Amino acid sequence: MSAISASEKVDGFTRKSMRKAQKQRKSQGSSQYRTQSAPVELSPLPQLKDAPSTEQQELFTKKLQQCCMLFDFLDSVMDLKSKEIKRATLNELVDYVSTNRGVLVESTYPEITNMICTNIFRTLPPSDNPDFDPEEDEPTLEASWPHVQLVYEFLLRFLENPDFQPSIAKRHIDQKFVLQLLELFDSEDPRERDFLKTILHRIYGKFLGLRAFIRKQINNIFLRFIYETEHFNGVAELLEILGSIINGFALPLKAEHKQFLMKVLIPLHTAKGLALFHAQLAYCVVQFLEKDPTLTEPVIRGLLKFWPKTCSQKEVMFLGEIEEILDVIEPTQFKKIQEPLFKQISKCVANPHFQVAERALYFWNNEYILSLIEENIDKVLPIMFGSLYRISKEHWNPTIVALVYNVLKTLMEMNCTLFDELTSSYKADRQQEKKKEQERDELWKKLDELRLSNTNLFQNNSRGLPCVQNNNNNNNNNNNSNNDNQDKSAEAAAVATDNKDPEVKDPDVSVAASESTPCAK
Amino acid sequence: IVLNLINYKYSSRVGTSRRHAFLYIYMEQIGSNFHLTLVSKMAGADGDDSLYPIAVLIDELRNEDVQLRLNSIKKLSTIALALGVERTRTELLPFLTDTIYDEDEVLLALAEQLGNFTMLVGGPEYVHCLLPPLESLATVEETVVRDKAVESLRKISQEHSPVDLEVHFEPLVKRLASGDWFTSRTSACGLFSVCYPRVSSTVKAEIRQHFRTLCSDDTPMVRRAAASKLGEFAKVLELDYVKSDIISLFTALASDEQDSVRLLAVEACVSIATLLPQEDLETLVMPTLRQAAEDKSWRVRYMVADKFSELQKAVGPEITKNDLVPAFQNLLKDCEAEVRAAAANKVKEFCENLPEDNREQIIMTHILPCVKELVSDTNQHVKSALASVIMGLSTILGKDNTIEHLLPLFLAQLKDECPEVRLNIISNLDCVNEVIGIRQLSQSLLPAIVELAEDAKWRVRLAIIEYMPLLAGQLGVEFFDEKLNTLCMAWLIDHVYAIREAATCNLMKLVEKFGAEWAQNTIVPKVLGMANDPNYLHRMTTLFCINALSEACGQDITTKQMLPVVLKMSNDQVANVRFNVAKSLQKIGPVLDSNALQTEVKPVLEKLATDTDMDVKYFAQEAISVLALA
């Protein structure tokens, strides 16, 4: 729904040119400055430390008010003098609240919060790059950072001041304040998110009345992120805060917290940008399991439900998290989930992507996991054996094959008899499987005929049955290699013939191939 | 036995392991392979068909492979059909209701299937049997599944009788609306409007109350769902309730603390404004709309810009003149590029829909100055959005204004540094053409077009090529030969394949316009000349051109001029050229007479069929069989 939609008609084009534009303007970013009446030029006030103590309070207030003036940082030369005055004043204010005692009297609270709200609360601007990829692209930095940073610094010192009284501040630092603060976590600027993290943590610590509210709002942000927008820059930071919040949960866990684990944290694993916050997420999950081991089964089943099917990178992360969980699992819990879990692990071990296979095989380097496997070898071995045996013969990557041999050896040592049995029945089992597969094919074919004969009666099901047909196709592939040749695009074939014909030494060939790929079939 | 098996399965939510164990026991009992029994059963022509589908379904539904589970769900209707309505209701549906814990993809397929199940459960009389599984599906987390379940529920709601609607459907809506977890409340929002018109007034009052509650729900997800259905709900309400209920909800949602809620209220604004009589708009809607147009969140302003044409139609000409024109100007000058781009996209539609009596004056004094600024905007998306509609203004403003005010803008955009902007202008040349005529257009724009024909971005060149037949048709042969012909030929040796391909296609269209004689004089010699080019890619282009042109040029030219060249190329050193010769011969074969085919084409193809390269052989053989020369 961004401005891009109009230009999306022109495929492929957008991204590159946009990236380019992005590069030129990267550091500029946008500020909260919006059409307000033009800023009045600021005039410097006397230093707080020079003022007599009776007048300090009044001067402090004046300075706070002065800092409510906002400036346009996109225009770097505008109001230079006033910007500098504000910067110096903010610095002085930071210093004042962090070094002096007794400066936070009740009457200053409204002025302080007003200054903070005016400066930091704003609607975040649209991202310069609508398909901003946090893993690849440089973030847009907040242009007004020279001021905003000091305001955040001030807020932090204000909260940490020994004289700070939450009972007075709660009139100002209320739900609305927190809500706006949370929205800012979407900022693209990592420096800003870092400040926000510390600040929110302090607020959570000091304002008991806001705790439930903060948790609920974070909940909402995550749910919106998972199910609606799939975009929020501050997930990692919020999870980091939650990590320490979870750490402090009292036992037994409230239903609310368990619901948060199962309905928010587990589905968070489905996010596209999981890599950006997986470490924090896994930490939260493990924290929960350490608190309450009975959650292990639902958590692992949840992870298995959302197990990535096409993204190897994510699969590696999932495996990492499973290992973290296994590190703290209780043997009784392990028994409950070993079957579904090892079915998945056996698939991972057989994954053609060597990083996935390797990550899964590394489980066998973990002493504790090994002991769990050994205890349950009669259950685990039959599940794992097929994949391992097949991979030991088939995997393309020699490292994996070597690892598999070690694993097989370890497993064999755990239960030699079972291992021998499985080895001898391996072939028969595979044949059995194949037969079953064929029978299923038959069944579906019959069912298909039934459907065809009923089409006149009921027109509703237009879908074919891809999977079964795939199985059949596998056999045909070899016979069809001739047909594949006719699909060769002229261009691709042209490149190939480069070898056939020494005369064709045209630089054009490579240019044509590379530049026109989007069009060639 | 099969039936017991089924009952066992859905009465206890067994996991796959226990299921296998059970199956195993079962198979032992009957002493033969379960599947084999079924297969043999089906093989018998009059076997009891009604028995196996549910067994297959259950087996496949529990299969570890998601794809297999998905397959059986997608064929649910087949299975239901085979089971008959009675067993579908008593066995299949309870089983499905119980299955809802699966992968989202399976659930999505299920939710979709159930929407078309009315006839399969015995028609409208029994349609309420479908409610339990759909109700569960409407509460799952995954949005696509939930949305699909709601869609299906909306669909089958129409098939309920008014009594059933109150007895079965409305209680479901109520349950969802007061669910604990936000998902069910979100789903409920989409169901109010479908049952409201057909229930009694007491139930109506309840529904209104539920909707009101959801509009002030404390989770923003629910408020968003309610806000997005506000317009739809307003449409089915009696006018009095629109004024009393909807307006207050609208005002509240439009000033929600979350901008994601406020922006949805803008959407509702369109429907609400359409429902109200003109005299109420000013007091009931406009304050909120004005506030939205100046909202502090750019997302809300973006939404206003995006819905501007709809809003304009909904509020009518008077309010448009007084309120929307200045609002539109502000949006065109907004500080966020996103908003400006959305507004720029609406320039044409907005101007078109202005009241005709002083349309020109409003455009010239209020809109055009803003448009002029946007032409040199700093953001390329804004410029490209403008470029995609700006040409449309010429029809509204007429010839003189176009030449005086708009042409300079078009020219500026044609020379814009951003290729998308140029592309959008070129793609809309036809509307200007209608107003000022091709002569005028070509005089002022042709130099720019020629320049773009050599643009560094091949997509821009491609867009220009696509306009060539149109331009050529309107400019006439002479003008074309003089100004554009060389360009068209140059594209044939472009270094991007897509351009060469488009250029061949372009030639064909030109020949269709200008006739075979023109082709023979201007194009064919040049094309055939390329057959001797040292670059084999260019030699292949000759073949591609011949493929495209043979039909348009007719038998005479093809046989006399093209065929000899093609045949000669069969001796080319590059295999790709040779197999393209075979392909070309297959293509132009139908245009040739049988004599030429037998005496000239056949020997060459036969020779190619014994080529050392397997691809050449393949295509030669294919050509021989297609042309029936064997």
From residue B80, give the alpha-carbon distance in Å to each of A451, A504, A521, B120, B317.
11, 63, 42, 6, 55
Cα torsion at B242, B247, B248, B252 (round to 10°)? 140
**Residue B317: is the preceding peptide bond cis (ω within 30°)?**
no
Contact at CB, B77 and A461, closer than 8 angstroms: yes
pLDDT of residue A498: 38
**A471 in contact with B, Cβ within 8 Å:** no
DSSP states of A55-96 = HHHHHHHHHHHHTT----SSSTTTTHHHHHHHHHHHHHHHHH
From residue A72, give the alpha-carbon distance in Å to each of A36, A44, A76, A83, B331.
10, 19, 8, 9, 20
A175 residue type, one letter: Q
Greatest Cα pair distance, chain B, in angstroms, is 93
Q: Which residues of chain A does B37 touch, with a Cβ-Cβ cutoff of 8 Å?
A: none
Mean pLDDT for B618-630 is: 87
Q: Which helix (H) or strand (E) holds B331?
A: helix B325-332
Q: Which residues of chain A does B116 touch, with a Cβ-Cβ cutoff of 8 Å?
A: 460
Dihedral over Cα of A407, A411, A413, A414: its sign: positive
pLDDT of residue A38: 58
d(CA A467, CA B322): 62
Nearest Cβ partner of B423 from A10, A224, A465? A10
d(CA B74, CA B77): 8
Residue B546: both structure tokens together: 């011949």
**Among A62-71, A225-234, A463-472, B289-298, the least confident range:** A463-472
Q: What is the residue whose two structure tokens read 């610095």?
A: A91
pTM: predicted TM-score of the whole model, two decimal places: 0.74
Decide: helix, strand or coil at residue B618: helix
- Span B427-471, pLDDT tens digits: 777 777 777 776 777 777 777 777 778 878 888 888 888 878 877
Q: Which residues of chain B does A7 touch, with a Cβ-Cβ cutoff of 8 Å?
A: 381, 384-385, 420, 424
Residue A510: both structure tokens together: 């490579």
Q: Which of residues 120-139 of A touch B (CB under 8 A)?
A: 123, 125-126
B210 in Cβ contact with B172 (< 8 Å) = no
**A21 in contact with B, Cβ within 8 Å:** yes
Nearest Cβ partner of B574 from A12, A226, A497? A497
ipTM above 0.85, yes or no: no
pLDDT of residue A284: 95
Name the band, by pLDDT with cuts 50, 70 and 90, for residue A296. Answer: very high
Q: A-B interface: how many C-beta pairs under 8 angstroms?
A: 194
Q: What is the residue whose two structure tokens read 């097989």?
A: A408
pLDDT of residue A510: 39
- Span B160-219, pLDDT tens digits: 888 888 899 999 999 999 998 899 999 999 999 998 998 999 999 999 999 999 999 989
Residue B377 above 90 pLDDT? no
Query: B544: nearest CA in chain A?
Result: A490
Name the band, by pLDDT with cuts 50, 70 and 90, for residue A487. Answer: very low
Nearest to B210, CA basis, from B225, A50, B220, A380: B225
A404 in Cβ contact with A393 (< 8 Å) = no
Contact at CB, B537 and A509, closer than 8 angstroms: yes
Residue B265's φ and ψ, nearest 5 degrees, are: -65, -30
Contact at CB, A343 and B64, closer than 8 angstroms: yes
Dihedral over Cα of A289, A295, A297, A303: its sign: negative
- Which of A7, A221, A256, A338 to substitute to test the interface with B, most B CBs within 10 Å? A7
DSSP states of B91-111 = IIHHHHHHHTTS-HHHHHHHH
pLDDT of residue B328: 92
Contact at CB, B336 and A125, closer than 8 angstroms: yes
pLDDT of residue B14: 32
B177 in Cβ contact with B217 (< 8 Å) = no
Residue A438 above 80 pLDDT? yes
d(CA A400, CA B290): 66
Query: A449: nearest CA in chain B?
Result: B78
DSSP states of B36-94 = HHHHHHHHSTTS-TTTHHHHHHHHHHT-S-HHHHHHHHHTHHHHHHHH-HHHIIIIIHH
Q: Which residues of chain B does A226 touch, with a Cβ-Cβ cutoff of 8 Å?
A: 141
A336 in Cβ contact with A297 (< 8 Å) = yes
Name the band, by pLDDT with cuts 50, 70 and 90, for residue A13. Answer: very low
Residue A516 above 80 pLDDT? no
Percent residues over pLDDT 90 in chain B: 30
Contact at CB, B338 and A3, closer than 8 angstroms: yes
Contact at CB, A6 and B536, closer than 8 angstroms: no
pLDDT of residue A22: 41
Contact at CB, A14 and B458, closer than 8 angstroms: no
- Span A202-239, pLDDT tens digits: 999 999 999 999 999 999 999 999 988 888 999 999 99
Residue A193 above 80 pLDDT? yes
Mean pLDDT for B389-414 is: 86
- CA A485 to chain centroid, in Å, comes to 42
B229 in Cβ contact with B210 (< 8 Å) = no
Q: Which residues of chain A does B380 touch, with a Cβ-Cβ cutoff of 8 Å?
A: 17-18, 21
